[in-house]
Amino acid sequence: MINQKMTELGKVRSVIREIFEYGNKRRSEIGAENVLDFSLGNPSIPAPEKVSEIMARLIKDTDPVKLHGYTSAQGDPTVRKAISDSITDRFGASSSPDLIYMTCGAAASLTITLNALVNTGDEVIALAPFFPEYRVFAEKAGANFKVVKCRESDFQIDFAALEAAINKNTKAIIVNSPNNPTGVVLSEETVIKLSELLNKKQAEFGTSIYIICDEPYRELAYGVDVPYIPNFYDNTIVCYSFSKSLSLPGERIGYIFVSPKTDIAADIYAAVCGAGRALGYVCAPSLLQYTVKECIGLTGDVEAYKKNRDALYNALVEYGYECAKPDGAFYLFMKSPESDAAAFCERAKKYELLLVPSDSFGYEGYVRISYCVSYSQIEKSLPAFKALMEEYK
């Protein structure tokens, strides 16, 4: 018998993929321009021109044997140095190339980190709503996955609930800010409180509790500061990706940064290298490593997402929807006017609006709207959202 858990995982399509496939069907039936698809988190703005220029130059000027050859398992040393320097320059955090591990995006960063930290039976906490793959990654690493819901009023952390959930088996808590699916950025006040709580709990249980900081949306913030968690809490490991900041999700490039302030940084980094090896995630794509080395900190046109956010959020609130105001990422979390969000999404299909019900994010009664779409799609969708709300009045 083959692995049943993996067979099930492979057979069941995620809700988001289901909706996207439905969208493909509708696109072929009525034309792509008539389908108001808000299901996928695929960046809608192109990668900055500089990215193609760097790639073209690298291909033209670099010895192909080097350019396309294996790098060190943990990534090219000059690339890791550039990333480490940029962490220190941009965030004032101490860093070292020997604590950077290059990966194939945030998904790989997360699975490697979870496998590096978790022993079977440890608990990993996710703050709901959360990126659904966290459960898959954590459980595969042998963790018991525990969900703590954020406050509904502003989607910041519910500290009473979090404190109640932490125990001597808690190994890590995954934090994602700006957040998918809410777009909410954790405030500095929240991050300080989180740090205080975790320090208190570490002392109480005599254990180490790590923050796994999932940051693919760090640069996609609209005029608000996104606190850099290693500056607030010592036991932090950052899982970064260039998928969203540089609009390169198909190229699969990111990194792990083990903060030197973690209690056993060298051992954690060794475990990261070990997990990368055990999972077959050595030597991230070399052309992409050399490319990001030259454009760390660069972003696409974030203003385009902000323009979409403003138009959509203002209109939805005017029509009577309740929404969490997103300060970043390119998602909007909207309360379903009926308690069954899946039923609401079905009804939305009448208007060719494709929305994702929130249940798979661990938080019922909402929908996620991915507004990484063209501005004309936003404009076109507004009458549809309005008419949809009229049905509930």
Which CB sits closer to ligand PLP, 222 or 385? Answer: 222
Binding part of the chain for ligand PLP, among 101-109, 260-268, 303-311, 313-321 by CB under 6 A, reads 101-109
Looking at residues 116 to 135 of the shown chain, list those that interact with ligand PLP (rule: CB under 6 A). Answer: 131
Interface with ligand PLP, residue 249, by CB under 6 A: yes
Q: How far apart are CA 252 and CA 232, in angstroms?
A: 29
254's tokens: 């990111």
Q: With the CA atoms of 378, 383, 388 and 389 taken in that order, what torsion angle do they form, in degrees rounded to the nearest 10?
A: 100
Interface with ligand PLP, residue 326, by CB under 6 A: no
Which CB sits closer to ligand PLP, 83 or 107? Answer: 107
DSSP 32: G
Site string for ligand PLP, 329-368 (x = CB under 6 A): ----------------------------------------
Binding part of the chain for ligand PLP, among 73-81, 104-112, 200-208, 220-228 by CB under 6 A, reads 104-112
User: In the bound complex, which residue of the shown chain has the CB atom lying closest to ligand PLP?
Assistant: 105
DSSP labels, 134-173: HHHHHHHTTPEEEEEEPPTTT----HHHHHHH--TTEEEE
Minimum distance of ligand PLP from residue 254's CB (angstroms): 5
Cα distance from N-terminal residue to C-terminal residue, the chain: 54
For ligand PLP, the binding residue among 106, 127, 209, 292 (CB under 6 A) is: 106
154 and 358 Cβ atoms separated by less than 8 Å: no
What SS3 state is found at 332? strand
Q: How far apart are CA 248 and CA 218, in angstroms?
A: 15
Minimum distance of ligand PLP from residue 205's CB (angstroms): 28
Residues of this chain that bind ligand PLP (CB under 6 A): 41, 105-107, 131, 176, 180, 214, 216, 241, 243, 249, 254
